[in-house]
């Protein structure tokens, strides 16, 4: 797959979609999903997270051929580890953990950004894990624009992976607490994703 540098997106979530659910597109019709995949992979930047989740739903139904053809025609690949990574994060952060293990004032966010530029051996894509007092979409846009950006993200950053972090937020506003949750998320993803970058607190 040829890696590209995409435009800086607005990085907004798809309204009404439950990113925390293992099958966020479970109520969508096959034809709508297939058409949506075609649209998402043609965007600049593409919505690879949505397209991958939709393709997975169609695979579960045994009706993924047309969507797979649209993916192939775009020259892009689905995110090979996204589904397993989502399962790992939801398992590590059930409601009880999220309700009982956050201390102090909340208001910051953890986030995961999809990064391209890797080889097929490493699954084509990697994940950058960070934390911020800003909104995840604003911080991801800053990475792409080179504002206090992590290495490689101005060129290879693609989009936030909402299904891997949205339901965890908000996290503690204090730096130590925020970084603890960032480290937790990083370590969970590192068990599944071949390339995970970002700082860890300990």
Any domain includes 83: no
Per-residue pLDDT of 69-112, as tens digits, reads 999 999 999 999 999 999 999 999 999 999 999 989 999 999 99
Distances from the Cα of 88 to the Cαs of 8, 48, 117, 134, in angstroms?
29, 19, 24, 25
Any domain includes 107: yes
Task: Using a pLDDT cut of 90, give the percent of the chain over it.
Answer: 93
**pLDDT reported for residue 113:** 98
Any domain includes 71: no
**pLDDT reported for residue 23:** 97
Any domain includes 191: yes
150 sits in which H/E element: none
Any domain includes 31: no
146 three-class SS: coil
Domain count, the chain: 1
- Which two tokens mark 163? 């299904």
Closest CA to 46 of 19, 9, 85: 9
Any domain includes 134: yes
Q: How confident is the model at residue 202 (pLDDT cuts 50, 70, 90)?
A: low
* Mean pLDDT along residues 127-134: 97
Distance between CA atoms of 166 and 20, rounded to whole angstroms?
A: 7
Any domain includes 57: no
For the chain, how many residues are written? 202
**pLDDT reported for residue 123:** 86
Which residues form the domain of 173? 95-197
pTM of the shown model: 0.96
Sequence-ordered list of residues with C-beta below 8 angstroms from that of 26, at least 6 positions apart, any chain? 57
Any domain includes 68: no
Per-residue pLDDT of 30-64, as tens digits, reads 999 999 999 999 999 999 999 999 999 999 999 99
Distances from the Cα of 164 to the Cαs of 7, 20, 22, 63, 86, in angstroms?
22, 8, 11, 25, 6
b/e 20-34 (16+ beta carbons within 10 angstroms → b): beeebbeebeeeebb
């Amino acid at each position: 797959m040829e890696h590209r540098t995409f435009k800086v997106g607005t990085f907004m979530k798809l309204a009404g979609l439950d990113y925390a659910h293992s099958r966020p597109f479970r109520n969508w019709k096959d034809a709508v999903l297939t058409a949506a995949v075609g649209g998402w992979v043609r965007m600049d930047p593409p919505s690879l997270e949505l397209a991958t989740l939709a393709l997975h739903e169609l695979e579960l139904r045994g009706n993924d051929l047309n969507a797979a053809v649209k993916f192939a025609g775009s020259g892009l690949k689905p995110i090979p580890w996204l589904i397993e990574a989502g399962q790992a994060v939801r398992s590590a952060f059930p409601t009880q953990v999220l309700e009982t293990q956050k201390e102090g004032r909340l208001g910051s966010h953890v986030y995961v950004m999809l990064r391209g530029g890797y080889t097929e051996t490493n699954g084509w894509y990697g994940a950058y894990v960070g934390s911020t007092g800003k909104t995840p979409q604003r911080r991801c846009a800053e990475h792409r624009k080179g504002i206090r950006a992590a290495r490689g993200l101005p060129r290879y950053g693609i989009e936030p992976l909402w299904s891997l972090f949205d339901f965890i937020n908000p996290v503690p506003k204090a730096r130590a607490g925020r970084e603890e949750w960032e480290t937790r998320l990083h370590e969970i993803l590192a068990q599944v994703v071949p390339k995970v970058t970002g700082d860890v607190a300990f």
